[in-house]
Amino acid sequence: MGALKERKLLNALRDYVAAGDRPFLGICLGLQLLFEGSEENGGVEGLGLIPGRMERFDERKGLPIPHIGWNDLKMTSKEDVPPLLSRLGDRRVYFVHSFRATPSPANAEWVAATSEYAGEFIAALSKGKVTATQFHPEKSGAAGLDVLRGFLEGADSSSPAVVSSSSAKRGLAKRVIACLDVRANDAGDLVVTKGDQYDVRESSSSSSSSSSNGTQTPASGSGSSGDVRNLGKPVDLAARYYTEGADEVTFLNITGFRETPLADLPMLAVLRAASERVFVPLTVGGGIREATDPDGTRHSALEVAAEYFRSGADKVSIGSDAVEAALRFYANDKKGDGTSAIERISWSYGAQAVVVSVDPRRVWVASPSSTERPTVKVSNGQRGPNGEEYCWWQCTVKGGREGRDLDAVELAVAAEALGAGEILLNCIDRDGTGDGFDLDLVRAVSSAVGIPVIASSGAGKPGHFKEVFEATRCSAALAAGIFHRHEVEISEVKGAMSDAGIPTRVG
């Protein structure tokens, strides 16, 4: 609203929409702006064209906020619902928001569709030639492209509704995310790499390798040339995952030139090209922090993130800097200072745009009294090297090279307080093992925060996804190598989830 006012567009936009006889499509904020206002940021006035105000989802319902993911639509009985909405059928669409409008008798003439999350909320509006969606058509795959195509081409009533044959459980779907570790190989080409337990090079035992998060570790594998294990070109592989049904795609930029991110033209080019072929959310991580180019030009973390957003990213993932921000948070009596990348990006782009990536390793302890860190009694009969039954998870920085006196649960709690909208929870101990997600870790973190948690590291078969969704409160699960190498297909994962009655986007 501030930007519209500054550009003197408020009255023009208000008059255009109020006329109702010219085509208008509002997306997400484009729907919210039409209402009288929002309680966000202490209260913001809207265009005042539709009765009602935007309110935050009710946290007392116990669901993660923001509402992120693929949810259902319930079409209303309005006679003038535009074909571009009615032809969605029962396919899920992608939402990402913390504030919503609720249906009421005062706005009933506008409401075209609702959805359920911590109660009923307005998912789409229509009146005359005005249409607005709380969901993101441009990130809703084929279903969303139908909406955009219908708006641009003028879909008529003869357009057939597309009805999914899926019998999957309805409601907000648990997300399956494909991750690509991207770096430059020795020839300077961008490639997707993945090894075991943070190793990405196939080299002789006398050399060293870079981890998937930048760690320098003794190399393993049978190769002798030291070439990066190339598992595909990033854009082609991302497009493949989109076609195969991935709910989101994550790029982790692990190459050396992330040290100068605004000169990182290859990664920005990857995002721009992927955005033309991939119509699900894109996350990018690696180098989202303050940086100085070789010529001395300084860039704030916000500037770096803005460049990624402009190039097609929907979210940015922050790693080591989040650990340092959390340490300052606790040293400052659990208060932010407004300077961290989490705070600045969240304020400018919204919490849903900020993912905090946690890289913890398990620390075994004899008893809870032997450490000041919060501990967990490990399940499934697992024991430490000396028979320990308890552990905590130490946060690491610099790709696992250095540990900090901070637990993964503590980091997640601080990240939420500072404005992060999602936690990407890795596990150094499980990465590349194929033994399954660390359920104790995922359970501990997802139970401690009110924002969505993505489980990562350790998936080796479809049952591992089913297991983590049934045993924890996580909202999504991520894998890399098993998808790259076709060891497990995304369709197999979703089939196992759907068969188990887990809400799943399968169409």
Active-site residue set = 28, 136, 138, 181, 359
Greatest distance between any 2 Cα atoms in the chain: 75
Nearest to 319 by CA among 281, 370, 283: 283
Q: Which residue has the tokens 């709380």?
A: 134
The CA distance from 430 to 197, in Å, is 7
Tokens coding 391: 């552990």
Nearest to 31 by CA among 59, 10, 54: 54
Residue 320 vs residues 286, 290, 488: alpha-carbon distances, Å: 9, 12, 30
| DSSP at 457 | S
Chain length of the chain:
507
Half-sphere exposure of 65 (CA within 13 A, CB side): 16
The CA distance from 31 to 467, in Å, is 37
The H-or-E segment that residue 418 falls in is: helix 408-418
The CA distance from 127 to 419, in Å, is 36
Amino acid at 253: N
The H-or-E segment that residue 423 falls in is: strand 422-425
Beta bridge partners of 192: 182
The CA distance from 231 to 462, in Å, is 21
Cα torsion for 154, 160, 166, 169, to the nearest 10°?
60
